[in-house]
Amino acid sequence: MVVVVIIALAVICILAREVYAATHIGAKMYIDAQCTTGDESIMLTFDDGPHPVNTPKVLDVLKKHNIKATFFCIASEAEKYPDIVKRIVDEGHTIGQHTYYHNPMHSFYTGKKYLAELKKAHETFEKLGIKIELFRPPLGITNAMIRWATEQMGYKVIGWSVRSFDTRNESREKVLERVVRQLKKGDIVLLHDRMDKADWLAERIIEKIERDL
């Protein structure tokens, strides 16, 4: 019985962190996160890459429409696919870091442990010839220790104003409907280039922006 209660509490805590992530990074809780572009442009951002198949497809779409985006890359994935990282930079996009491992337990790290991972990721990108100035915490989860670590690195933390929830197991059409329903000038849109049909979703969003905004 005790074990069941402990497991149930753990599940509740994990779900609560997801709600926290969806709500509080937009409210600049703990981290001074930039959530609007400061003008009428819309910022497309892609997390969790690079992906060997889907990221190049997304890049093809962006190139077709002459759109520049920001990719918050997981450093361990960047190490695996340096050619894709190079292409992102060569085509004029911006790279920010998204930690080294994207461990879902990051929010339970001490400040020093979190800082160590940020430094490891930073050094990885430096080896690839990339200067990192931007950061987005995994899942958007923040706390005082994460804030301390990002301040030590001197990072500018980028949040979002439109969260697509494109990692859910649902149709891309439903995700698209959710995004365009919220979309307005000055927004930062959170997408994931590791997901299948990320290119389709990105192109439909871009078409909506070009047509109506």
Which residues belong to the active site?
A: 47, 192
Contact 201, 61 (CB under 8 A): no
Give the up-direction half-sphere exposure of residue 132: CA atoms within 13 A in the CB hemisphere.
32
What is the per-residue DSSP string for 82-107? HHHHHHHHHTT-EEEE--SS--TTGG
The secondary structure of residue 126, as a DSSP letter, is H
Cα 13 from chain centroid? 22
What span, in angstroms and rounded, lies between the C-alpha atoms of 163 and 25? Answer: 11
Hey, what are 168's tokens?
Answer: 């859910």
- Three-state DSSP class for residue 191: strand
For residue 50, cis peptide bond before it (omega within 30 degrees of 0): yes
Residue 157 pairs in a beta bridge with: 135
